[in-house]
Amino acid sequence: MLAIDAAAYRSPWRGHHPAAKALLAGTLLLCALVLPPWPGAPITAAITLAVALGWARVPPRAFLRSARAPLAFVVTGALTFLVSVDTSGLAWAPGGAARAGEVIGRCAAAVLSQLLFAMTTPLADVLPRLARRRGLAGLAEVAGLVYRMLSVVLETVDAVRRAQADRLGARSWRARWRSVTGLAAQIFVLSFDRARRLEDGLGDRGYTGGLAVSVEPLPLRGRFLALAPLPGVVAAVLTVALSLVPSSVPGLG
């Protein structure tokens, strides 16, 4: 099981309705996208971390480890703003550092807000409810199948890598390269076979375009629902207040 899934199933917020948690995380995501990058992004990110680690009691190590890969991708992509390409070759882009900082700030705040929802809400609580909405049944079904296949692929990768390690597949660089290529080929074959068996199983069970699943009832608690937009409101108010401070001080602005 992925660390995100484990945290979601153990979350103290598991008993809250996904819609209320989506409202909370969605408000913070909106703040990350709409508010000025400075100071909006740092404020939104700080409030999201406080909500996740304090209110939702998400394990700090799991939260930060889950954020590590997407944030590394964001930083790597933002580095391209630092250079420009023209007929004379590569050069430092004017204003590139500021632009890169804005992108990193917005994306970091957005990633943290999405992780807040993902690490407090299991996908099994979300997809069946989406499938009940008109026009979203197909999307929910595809998302569920992709999620299931992703879990199967990760489990297969782990099993194959352990088998290769037991056979000294990492004793040298040449052996490691051979193990990686073998792993890629094996994963493709096994994933294709699993997908075919899944399709055969659905057909044998009379699949007609929809999967009937039981949904655990989760009530919408009024107090939590009322407090859900509060972190986003606080982020917006603090951003506006700090943005107005320099213009009100003589010699600044």
* 57-95: pLDDT as tens digits: 999 998 988 899 899 999 998 888 888 877 777 778 788
Instruction: Judge whether residue 45 has pLDDT over 80.
Output: yes
What per-residue confidence (pLDDT) applies to 79? 87
Strands (E), the chain: 83-86, 89-92
pLDDT tens digit string along 115-173? 999 999 888 778 777 777 777 777 777 777 777 777 777 777 777 777 777 776 667 77
pLDDT band at 107 (very low <50, low <70, confident <90, very high): very high
Radius of gyration of the chain (CA): 23
Q: CA angle 54-56-58, nearest 5°?
A: 85
Strand partners, 91: 84
Give the mean pLDDT of the chain. Answer: 81
Q: Show Cβ contacts of residue 118 under 8 Å, excluding neighbours closer than 6 positions.
A: 4, 8, 66
pLDDT of residue 111: 94
What is the DSSP secondary structure assignment for residue 81, as one 8-state letter? G
pLDDT of residue 173: 75
What residue type is 7 in one-letter code? A
pLDDT of residue 251 exceeding 50, the answer is: no
pLDDT range class, residue 253, cuts 50, 70, 90: very low
Residue 43, pLDDT > 80, answer yes
**Any idea where the domains of the chain sit in the sequence?**
3-121+221-248, 128-204
Q: Check residue 213 and give its pLDDT.
A: 64
Model pLDDT, residue 250: 44
| pLDDT score of 170 | 67
As a whole number of angstroms, the distance between CA 33 and CA 127 comes to: 25
Write down the pTM of the prediction. Answer: 0.76
Contacts of residue 52, Cβ cutoff 8 Å, sequence gap at least 6:
58, 63, 112, 115, 116, 119, 120
